[in-house]
Structure 1
Amino acid sequence: MSDWAFDLGNTRLKLAPLRHGSAGEVAAFPHGEHVLGAGWMAALPPRIDVAWVASVGPAALRAALLQVLVPRAARVVEVRVAREMGGVRIGYDDPARLGVDRALAMIGARAQVAGGVLVVGVGTALTIDLVDAEGVHLGGCIAPSPTLMREALHARASQLPLEGGALVQFGTGTEDALAAGCAGAALGLVERSRDAAARLAGAPPAIVVHGGGAGMLLAALPGALHRPSLVMDGLARLSRQPAGAG
């Protein structure tokens, strides 16, 4: 048997074995609003020691996931956000209101980067969190991701395409203009946050980017670190510190 990590997000379920305190190969399975995607159970062993679960997905999907894991695992740990967890002190007035995926991403980044770090998640939402060199979370911001911006525009004006275009400064066609505007808005927020963090701390923080939409921003963020499995990395770190999970 072995320990496994499960990250149930808004659009995908990700899972990975935990070996020697690190996440192994991550498998991702898209899901619908009410039904988990096919194939994910086949990726699991017959028995699991500890299932570490982080969920920001719909309640019905969380229940479906637990329905499979509870009989299969000797123990299931649902990670909850606490004031102190995995070497990070959460800065929210009410830590329980912070998404567990954001908390775990900060824990994963903190374990890999010395000094201050700006943790950028690009999924359904664009999230940015600042953690200082002592591991104190100084807060963050949430905005629509570039993908969500385009979906919203398409929903209101169907002639605007959902996809396509190159990330340029000024588009000479609709697709390029959309890509430039939506990705540019996200990049502007990241750059503004980086500059504000540098003024606050006296030095620019490292930028760590994760999430399914990270690729569209990375080329425009020189020096940024791409850590696609950052939430899993945070779960792996917590698995070595069981008292840090609720």
Structure 2
Amino acid sequence: MIAIDVGNTRIKWGVYDGSSWSQRGNLLTAEVTRIGEVAAAWPEGDRVIACNVAGEPVRDQIDRRLSARFSAISWLRSDVESCGVRNGYDLPERLGADRWAALIGARGHTDRACLVVCAGTATTADWLDADGNFRGGVILPGMDLMLASLARDTAQLPLAEGEFRLAPRNTGDAIVSGCLHAQVGAIERMFAAVASEPSAKCLLTGGASPRIARHLSIPFQLMENLILDGLVRFGMSR
């Protein structure tokens, strides 16, 4: 089975052989036209399951460029219930497919209450209780988006390349430290909802997750790609 996670910045993919990932990789979403070159190394005829938050034109490009080697791509859409996860969103179908896939992936790793955090272009922190109920979650700009917005929308603040400091004494460190405080603070405030549950922890995935993880004071586990895990788990249930 081949899983494809189409994000705003990157397209992540993996080839699952039934027990483990035999291949994994990524390319920039802006380079979606190269997906056919990448797919040349995938086993022909394998089932493809994907999720997309980058818009219909990107999806159409993938459909078109993979159609010669794969009969159809199954595109995950958020549902009321799947794989032991029940969707508590007011309008379940409006939950982002990537968040839904990550919740399904998380449920495959633990049956305890957890906070599912995807730290990419945006950072999402979603509450999954021990019974498999998605109780709700938050969305905030990701680390790089925060840094870029300060550089773009202020007259005198640069695109910072500073370091995290408890008491920053230069502008670069002040910006990086402030953005990291915002990420960590949002995650830890959301984790408070599950902190009292037995063996509760934060499952943390996404490109910015290692950078965030070193500053967390809550129990957490870094996950290589919960979204791909969720796509495969969903595909195996069908």
User: TM-score w.r.t. structure 2 length?
Assistant: 0.92
Give the CA deviation at 1:31: 2.5
Give the CA deviation at 1:67: 0.4
Match of 1:11 in 2: 9
Give the CA deviation at 1:63: 0.5
1:135 correspondence with 2:132: yes
Give the CA deviation at 1:88: 0.6
Give the CA deviation at 1:172: 0.9
Match of 2:29 in 1: 31
Give the CA deviation at 1:205: 2.6
Matching residue within 220, 226, 233 for 1:237 = 233
Give the CA deviation at 1:152: 0.7
| SS state at 1:111 partner | helix
1:125 correspondence with 2:122: yes
Give the CA deviation at 1:159: 3.7
Give the CA deviation at 1:114: 3.1
Q: Mind listing any 5+ residue stretches in structure 2 that lack a counterpart?
A: none
**1:51-62 equivalences in 2 (<5 Å):** 51-62=48-59
**1:146-185 equivalences in 2 (<5 Å):** 146-157=143-154, 159-185=156-182
1:188 correspondence with 2:185: yes
Matching residue within 211, 217, 225 for 2:212 = 217
Q: Deviations over 1:154-188 (max 9, x none)?
A: 00125423241112222111111111100101111
- In 1, Cα distance between equivalents of 2:64 and 2:39: 16
- In 2, Cα distance between equivalents of 1:41 and 1:15: 13
Give the CA deviation at 1:210: 0.7
How many residues get paired? 236
| SS state at 1:133 partner | coil
Give the CA deviation at 1:69: 2.0
Give the CA deviation at 1:217: 0.5
Matching residue within 48, 73, 78 for 2:75 = 78
User: TM-score w.r.t. structure 1 length?
Assistant: 0.89
Contact conserved, 2:33 with 2:61, CA < 8 A, in 1?
no
- In 2, Cα distance between equivalents of 1:202 and 1:17: 35
- In 2, Cα distance between equivalents of 1:63 and 1:57: 11
| SS state at 1:5 partner | strand
Contact conserved, 1:119 with 1:130, CA < 8 A, in 2?
yes
Identity of aligned residues (%): 32
- In 2, Cα distance between equivalents of 1:187 and 1:99: 22
Contact conserved, 1:54 with 1:78, CA < 8 A, in 2?
yes
Match of 1:227 in 2: 223
**Alignment RMSD, CA only?**
1.9
| SS state at 1:49 partner | coil
Match of 1:100 in 2: 97
Distance 1:161 1:40, change over 3 A: farther
Give the CA deviation at 1:194: 1.0
